[in-house]
Amino acid sequence: MNENPLSSQSLDVPPELVRDARAARNIVVLTGAGMSAESGIPTFRDTRTGFWANFDPSALASASGFKRNPALVWGWYEGRRRDVRRRKPNAGHFALQDLAKLDGVESLTVITQNVDDLHERAGSTDLIHLHGNLFGSQCFACQRPYVADTPSAVEDLAEPDAEEDRPTPPPRCRRCNGLVRPAVVWFDELLSPANWTEACRHVQGADLVLVVGSSGEVYPAALLPDMAVERGCPVWIINPADGLDTTFRKAWRSTAAVALPALVAGCAKEE
Ligand SMILES: [Zn+2]
């Protein structure tokens, strides 16, 4: 294993990818944790630091864990929201807007496994959050969306304060007095059928699928590139990790913040 995974990355866009992108009208970009990691958002495992280090993921990110200890789960999500607010979209998030504006491109849909709002903040509007949204809340009992009375307009953007990390009782639903939960998909829950159907529809209509910052091998999200491959649609995996399945997919070992701006530049260059 190379000591610095980035050193083995190539800045040169694979010519075949440039050809595929230039020919594409409807692009689907499936993004995973690697995309947010470049903005400094830790992967799930790494968010369990400090106070949370001793808790099992199933206690913090499951419906059963929430039922057992709602304050523990809500407090942890409050901490994750504070952390994400301090981060900014990276060059990869922004490059997707430029990719959408290339000649011939009619649509670019982002289907993300990430629950942060970095795609939105970079300007993506055609966006599906497969695993939900960290900044959305809903009632655990009646499912109604919950909007706080007094959204904290002034965010503390200072460095994280470990003192803030503690169990915090969630608010109550105004309709049924149920507990309010984050609008994310937990380990013991299914994806929203509406989101999934919408994601499948876009993939069925795509003529280029990019899988960015993900190995593309975690199910059910991995069914989406599989679906594209079956239709003969080019699928490119852009990820720095080794060991990608390249039997039917093409891979470029690079990261979102490096590869996506380079791809845009490569497509814009005169032939
Ligand atoms: Zn309710």
Q: What is the pLDDT along the chain (271 residues), one digit of tens a residue?
A: 333 444 444 568 999 999 999 999 999 999 999 999 999 998 776 767 778 888 888 889 999 999 999 999 999 999 999 999 999 999 999 999 999 999 999 999 999 999 999 999 999 999 999 999 999 999 999 999 998 876 554 455 555 555 677 899 999 999 999 999 999 999 999 999 999 999 999 999 999 999 999 877 777 788 999 999 999 999 999 998 766 566 667 889 899 999 999 999 999 886 6
Spatial distance between the Cα atoms of 52 and 132, rounded to a whole number of angstroms: 22
Q: With contact defined as beta carbons under 8 Å apart, do 28 and 202 qualify? A: yes
* Alpha carbon of 173 to ligand 1 centroid (Å): 5
Spatial distance between the Cα atoms of 112 and 264, rounded to a whole number of angstroms: 20
Give me 99's structure tokens.
């990719």
* Residue 119 bears catalytic tag: no
* Alpha carbon of 138 to ligand 1 centroid (Å): 8
Nearest to 91 by CA among 157, 25, 38, 23: 38
CATH number at residue 61: 3.40.50.1220
* Alpha carbon of 183 to ligand 1 centroid (Å): 13
Q: Which of 93, 129, 131, 202 is catalytic?
A: 131
> How many structural domains is the chain composed of?
1
Edge to edge, the sheet with strand 208-212 lists: 127-129, 107-112, 26-31, 208-212, 235-238, 250-252
Q: How far, in Å, are 75, 146, 190, 267 from residue 149 at the CA level? A: 18, 9, 29, 47
